[in-house]
Amino acid sequence: MASTIHHTFSIGTDMKLPYTPLGEEKLNSLRAKFHGLQILIIDEISMVDHKLLSYIHGRLRQIKQTGDFSPFGNVCVIAVGDFFQLPPVKGKPLYTEVPGLGLWSNCFTVVELTQVVRQKDSKFAELLNRLRKRSKKSPLSKEDLEMLRKCDTGEDDFTPLHIFATNDEVHEHNLKQLINVCSEVETIEAEDFARSKKTGKVELIAGHHIKVYNTCLPAKLLLGINARVMLIKNIDVNDGLVNGVCGTVTHIVRTDKNKLPETVYIHFDDSHVGFKRRKQCLAEPAKLFNSTPIHVEEENACRNGGFRRQFPLKLAWACTVHKVQGLTVDCAVVSLKKVFAAGQAYVALSRVRNLSGLTFKDFNEKSIYCNENIFEAVQEMPCFVVHDE
């Protein structure tokens, strides 16, 4: 079973130290769910900071009720990832020292995996490895520069996924595509609810909450038939309906213009995604178009009991580098124009399987660089050693 760390352990985005224990009601639910948990695998460890790791440790101690300070409640934790990829959005990466937060340095040993799985093209894989460790001061070799410039065609094919460094670039590209591709564009406003000061009841409000917490649901969603979209939360893990899967909108079903649509039907790129849900659906879009019904989701949005109802979707002709880390695609158009951090360019370029699937928009060799502090930090990490019996 796969899920985000925050969702799995009911960890909000507003984490504070010292650790804030989880309330009994949610804790009992997690204890029932994870009573037999022995091994936890954390993927994309480069994006986990010290504070989040401390909260994972705290939650597991609460769940397992060890009664002592055993790391992670005596659950075996396997962390997988590459520190040369993207660091945490806000906190400090685990390879840095933070006083009082030594879980990483005290509890983990390292095994280096050397076999490349995503890229079968050995020349491309070797190129990526050189780019992965390239410092700002090191010039690209003539051969590497020639290979990369072949991808800088000057043409912009709008069909493949476009990868940008910033949300503004992503929004601009998605809006442009929405207007070009969809003959009619629908604006779907979220329904926000808040507790009335007069009645004490939760009621639909005019407009939207000024501040929302711990919800991924957008206040406003622009959609149209043939729009490329991505699920932004886990709906049914066993049915493949998970955060990050993409598809194309085929139908939007409305019964009342003044309310949210009833259903948005999506033809997912992977036919296995939503298979069970389609099988149970008798509606025409599911039967004739192989489209999966997606319904409105409800999430708490305010600390005073307010919540939001909206479709868990976003436009996906383009995504940020942060959103695609861990993704594999056949083709992608990558813009290096506004790269602002070490590792971003490498992550974007390494999403494709072959060099032939890579196209550059705004190629800039100066954007390809790593954080040089990682070299020494990784070398200082203790190695995992297997002792012969």
pLDDT band of residue 206 (cuts 50, 70, 90) is very high
Show which of 300, 315, 330 is a domain's final residue. Answer: 315
- Same domain membership, residue 283 and residue 220: yes
In a domain, 378, yes or no: no
Q: Tens of pLDDT along 72-123?
A: 999 999 999 999 999 999 899 999 999 889 999 999 999 999 888 888 889 9
Residue 389 has pLDDT above 60, yes or no: no
pLDDT band of residue 278 (cuts 50, 70, 90) is very high
Alpha-carbon span 383 to 374, nearest angstrom: 16
Q: Tens of pLDDT along 367-383?
A: 999 999 999 999 999 99
In a domain, 179, yes or no: no
In a domain, 116, yes or no: no
- Same domain membership, residue 199 and residue 272: yes
In a domain, 182, yes or no: no
pTM for this one? 0.90
- Same domain membership, residue 96 and residue 24: yes
Alpha-carbon span 357 to 109, nearest angstrom: 36
Structure-model confidence comparison of residues 305 and 29, the more confident one: 29
* 248 strand-pairing partners: 228, 267
| Model pLDDT, residue 198 | 87
Residue 385 has pLDDT above 80, yes or no: no
Structure-model confidence comparison of residues 115 and 190, the more confident one: 190
Residue 344 has pLDDT above 90, yes or no: yes
Q: Is 12 helix (H, G, I), strand (E, B) or coil?
A: coil
Describe the crossing of helices 142-149 and 122-132 by its angle, rounded to 10 degrees.
Answer: 110
Residue 232 has pLDDT above 60, yes or no: yes
Q: Tens of pLDDT along 19-54?
A: 999 999 999 999 999 999 999 999 999 999 999 999
What integer best gives the mean pLDDT of the chain? Answer: 93
- Same domain membership, residue 65 and residue 10: yes
Residue 14 has pLDDT above 70, yes or no: yes
Q: How far apart are the first and last CA of the chain?
A: 33
Show which of 274, 294, 315 is a domain's final residue. Answer: 315
Phi and psi at residue 128, in whole multiples of 5°? -60, -40
- Same domain membership, residue 326 and residue 303: no
In a domain, 114, yes or no: no
Q: Is 290 exposed, middle or buried (0-12, 13-18, 19+ CB in 10 A)?
A: middle
Cβ atoms of 281 and 299 closer than 8 Å: no
In a domain, 382, yes or no: no
In a domain, 74, yes or no: yes
| Model pLDDT, residue 145 | 96
* Helices (runs of H) and strands (runs of E) counted in the chain: 12, 17
In a domain, 246, yes or no: yes
Cβ atoms of 349 and 128 closer than 8 Å: yes
Q: How many domains does the chain have?
A: 3
Residue range 278-299: mean pLDDT, rounded? 96
Cβ atoms of 346 and 133 closer than 8 Å: no
* 220 strand-pairing partners: 189
Answer whether the bond into residue 71 is a cis peptide, omega within 30°.
no
Q: Compute CA distances 279 → 239, 276, 282, 285, 287, whole Å.
A: 11, 5, 8, 12, 8
Domain of residue 145: give its range: 122-166+318-370
Widest Cα–Cα separation across the chain: 72
Angle, vertex CA 232, rays to CA 318 and CA 314, nearest 5: 45
- Same domain membership, residue 311 and residue 194: yes
